Structure 1
């Protein structure tokens, strides 16, 4: 993405406190001692079942991600070559781009680069749940979601699920009146 809201907020901040964040991609924002995405790289690397981390970005932020990635031996960067929010490919198309470009023939964990995880989040538990689901059907997948407030539906993708928590539909940033669900995915 292009961080349109973030960049608008940074530009409109009259205090100057956040001026250094102008033009910084959300995943590269500092969280604690390093960039947000670095926390994911550390978690994915230490879990023991992730071989490579593929980051798909746009042409605007590609150089910044290439520079950041030099710290990691298992991170590969790919640009979707888009230069505007209007021309962006979207998450699914970017996933397909990475799978084809890097010739990925294994399971894939997809993480939004600007996603924070709570301290009690466990990749091992997600992997265990995925293995359980796969035992029932090899074509199955696991999608993580969380509940959001009514006014937040227009900020996230919202999953509509059935009684067994199987995804029936995903709505991209709907108004609260457009869905009964409050199950957000980032």
Structure 2
């Protein structure tokens, strides 16, 4: 299985923090960055054969510097999608397709957002994927209506098969939030190009499973752990203070 970290965004809401530093490389726990914490989650997963990081031209060299200093055992490669501004970005699904076309992976694919801080390990998620042997999304219960309107929201049957999935719904149908952690079977990867060819939105990563679930089985894995995406300078300062205390 290959891990693909999506890190080609520009995080304009965090300006001026992210004018010269990509969001995944912001320190959140002492000197440890968001990307450091994500990579540590991947290092302990035996079946991950390689970590790919897709970024943009503006921040490519910053990620290359991070890679050169990386002390982990997994091979890591940084890919440049060639974009240089928020207006020209490919979008999350566009970046996945960019990687698929360039790399032609022959393994299953774990897709992660490069700006999320995870409060749980991923071994249980991978075990579930192998148990059900189908594409998977990761969900957790979200009781804040405002948060539900800002993420993907799913409806599931008793076997956790996805019945509906809607990105950023104005009227959420459930309290099952979908987060940017996906596992796709190798056989599913060619469908990304079909999705885009049919005019699918290339932006938010949940748009693809929203399209996929009506075409083939898609299962959901529940986590009770935290998933934090720092959206404002104030939230970043709060997270850094809290995680710094935990590290002491």
Q: Which of residues 5, 10, 26 in structure 2 aligns to 1:2?
A: 10
* Cα distance in 2 between the residues matched to 1:62 and 1:172: 29
Q: Under a length normalisation based on structure 2, what TM-score does the superposition of the two structures give?
A: 0.60
Alignment partner, residue 31 of structure 1: 28
Q: CA RMSD in A?
A: 2.1
* Cα distance in 1 between the residues matched to 2:145 and 2:107: 37
Q: Which of residues 146, 168, 173 in structure 2 aligns to 1:180?
A: 173
* Secondary structure, aligned partner of 1:96: helix
Q: Are the structure 2 counterparts of residues 41 and 174 from structure 1 closer, same or farther at C-alpha, using a change threshold of 3 Å?
A: same
Higher strand proportion: 2
Alignment partner, residue 14 of structure 1: none
Alignment partner, residue 159 of structure 1: 153
* Secondary structure, aligned partner of 1:143: strand
* Cα distance in 2 between the residues matched to 1:159 and 1:84: 29
* Cα distance in 2 between the residues matched to 1:82 and 1:26: 16
Q: Which runs of 5+ in 1 are unaligned?
A: 12-18, 135-139
Alignment partner, residue 64 of structure 1: 62
Report how many residues are paired: 165
Offset at residue 51 of structure 1 (A): 1.2
Q: Under a length normalisation based on structure 1, what TM-score does the superposition of the two structures give?
A: 0.78
* Secondary structure, aligned partner of 1:145: strand
1:125-150 Cα offsets, whole Å, 9 max, x none, are 1111011011xxxxx21111223311
* Cα distance in 2 between the residues matched to 1:78 and 1:6: 23
Contact 1:159 1:167 in 2 (8 A): no
Q: Which runs of 5+ in 2 are unaligned?
A: 1-8, 181-248
* Secondary structure, aligned partner of 1:180: coil
